[in-house]
Amino acid sequence: MFNSESQAASFIRSRIAKGTTVHTDEAAAWDHLHERFEVKRINHQEACSLDGVCTNMAEEYFSRLRRGEIGIHHHIAGPYLLRYAQESSWREDNRGVSNGDQTQRVAGLGSGLN
């Protein structure tokens, strides 16, 4: 969790592989990402998605994380944010998988994960 988008940009630069394509909105905080990454930007005043550029996946993820905080967890303390974010990410990645298959994957009983 960051106090500003510019702090988040520093985190991104230190964690994402050089040469990765990053999708952002038009906020000035993302300007320095061009130094290290291919950056595709979307102006949300013009469109939500244009020519394959959007931030919809990130926005959807954060929306689900926020709804989880409100409806399931009721509070996410800073020291545990990473764990909540990892769980939310796993849920996002597996939301189309049946509960039985999810259980088997986690237990290592299916899908060649033994």
pLDDT in tens, 23-63: 988 888 889 888 889 999 988 888 888 888 888 888 888 88
Residue 27 DSSP one-character state:
-
CA dist., res. 36 & res. 34, Å (int)? 6
Dihedral sign, Cα of residue 79, residue 85, residue 62, residue 55? positive
pLDDT in tens, 57-103: 888 888 888 888 888 878 888 788 888 888 888 888 888 999 899 88
> In DSSP terms, which residues pair with 40 in a beta bridge?
23
Cβ atoms of residues 20 and 40 within 8 Å: no
Read off φ and ψ for residue 100, nearest 5 degrees. -65, -45
Q: Give pTM, 2 decimals.
A: 0.60
Listing DSSP states for 82-103 in one string gives HHHHHHHHHHHHTTTS-HHHHH
